[in-house]
Amino acid sequence: MKVLHIISQTPDFTGSGKYVLEMIKQNKISKNENYLVAGISDDFSLPDHVLSSENCQFIRFGKDLNFPIVGMSDVMPYSSTVCSCLTPEQVKQYKTVFLKKIRQAAAHFSPDIIHTNHLWVASAAARNAVPDIPIVTSCHGTCLRQHRLCPDLGRSLQNPLSKIDRFIALFQEQKEDIQNLLGIDPDRIDVISGGFNPNCFYFEKKQDTPSTVQILYAGKLNASKGVPWLLKSLNMLSTDQFHLHLVGGGSGPEKQQCLELAKPLGTKVTVHGILSHENLAELMRASHIFVLPSFFEGLPLVLLEAMACGCRIITTGLPGSKQLFSETHPDMISMIKLPQLMTIDRPHPKDEPELEAQLAALLKQGIKEVQQGSTPDQEYILKITQPYTWKKIFSRVENVYRKTAGLFIPQTF
């Protein structure tokens, strides 16, 4: 099978970019051929071990398009254009360039199926470019947020998006959101989560009674991920009990706010920046508690990775997290119930003190349990994580490919 992959952002090692790279890898293992169309910053280059240049078609923001790469989130870990700030002329250029490049790639590669990412501009361009090739689109959550933030642009995409053949939602509530927001028949939406690499993220026994508990956060350094909330909560605790590791990129004033809030922790915090999968996994195996205090997530696969490495999890009770940990464990999982939010990813200021007190209490309890020698439940870890290996996830995605391609196989009598 020949699979054409499309993503509007740089295919990197985070979020939807990581998903695309894993789909390419798993397709290779399954002996399927790959071709990639991706929007990238002008200085980006894809490693040859992922795909050769002959199997890629890039749209270079800053060159093919005269503005920085458009982020699927409004705060990205690199220089980007906020989608709601695009001018009508920029939107026109955005649509036109992607349509042209996708049409060229399809003519060159002759794919059996196209796998796009995000129910947004690139997926709509793909449908317009090649109306007769079956398309599967994976929703990563941020695209649904953009439909709400940019309703006029969203409405202009709705007709081609509605003609996509099949959709992949990461969890059940996201499927319902796609149905309600875009009017998609639920029979055309498959629920298939993302996965993790068990050869990279795996358990190693930790020190039983550490004097200093290692706490880890990995993600964007911004407010929607709850990093200021985390830092304010930790500043309420005794700093002789823990060391905080902040992993991830950020940009602009929100990143600066996070760094300013980290300063009172002094030497009790290490800001690592962006790490490779291997280095992140090594840090996870050395950590005791993983914290993800997000106000908005799709399916937070980093929680699976941390769990597989033996970390206790403290996170918010968002739908994606609830799906991953549908079977809870009092010593391994702590979820904070969020109040009604002011926006899709911001709490009301009046609720912030209570949220900080809740998170501080959970961190204090987690630190205490680790110092008292409570060890990770390996049986629970395996039970939760094993259904989510990339091999198992891709087998379900490939079934969707075959089912979708079958819609276009001529019947003979």
Residue by residue, pLDDT tens for the chain (413 residues) are 999 999 998 766 567 888 999 999 999 999 999 999 999 987 788 887 889 989 999 999 989 999 999 988 776 766 788 889 999 999 999 999 999 999 999 999 999 999 999 999 999 999 999 999 999 999 998 999 999 999 999 999 999 999 999 999 998 999 999 999 999 999 999 999 999 999 999 998 877 778 899 999 999 899 999 999 999 999 999 878 899 999 998 878 889 999 999 999 999 999 999 898 899 999 999 999 999 999 988 778 899 999 999 999 999 998 889 888 888 898 899 999 999 988 878 899 999 999 999 999 999 999 999 999 888 999 999 999 999 999 999 999 999 999 998 844 444 43
Kindly list the domain boundaries of the chain, sorted by start residue.
2-195+389-406, 213-386
Which residues have a Cβ under 8 Å from the Cβ of 193 and sit 6 or more positions away?
A: 170, 171, 299, 301, 323, 324, 388, 393
Question: Residue 348 and residue 270: Cα distance in Å, rounded?
Answer: 29
Q: What's the pLDDT score for residue 72?
A: 84
Q: Which two tokens stand for residue 386?
A: 């094993």
Which residues have a Cβ under 8 Å from the Cβ of 325 and sit 6 or more positions away?
A: 303, 313, 333, 335, 384
Which residues have a Cβ under 8 Å from the Cβ of 248 and sit 6 or more positions away?
A: 77, 217, 218, 219, 220, 221, 273, 274
Q: Which CATH architecture has domain 213-386?
A: 3-Layer(aba) Sandwich (3.40)
DSSP 114-141: EEEESSSHHHHHHHHH-TTS-EEEE--S
Q: What's the pLDDT score for residue 249?
A: 84
Strand order in the sheet with 333-336: 269-273, 242-247, 213-218, 289-292, 312-316, 333-336
Instruction: Say how many C-beta atoms besides its own lie within 10 A of residue 102's C-beta.
Output: 26
Q: Of 92, 86, 95, 136, give the one whose Cα is nearest residue 112.
A: 136
Q: What's the pLDDT score for residue 408?
A: 42
Q: What's the pLDDT score for residue 15?
A: 75
CATH number for the segment(s) 2-195+389-406: 3.40.50.2000
DSSP 149-182: H-HHHHHHHHHHHHT-SEEEESSHHHHHHHHHHH
Instruction: Quote the strand ranges of 219-311, DSSP E.
Output: 242-247, 269-273, 289-292
Which residues have a Cβ under 8 Å from the Cβ of 189 and sit 6 or more positions away?
A: 166, 167, 168, 169, 175, 178, 179
β-bridge partners, 333: 313
**Torsion sign over Cα 39, 44, 46, 52:** positive
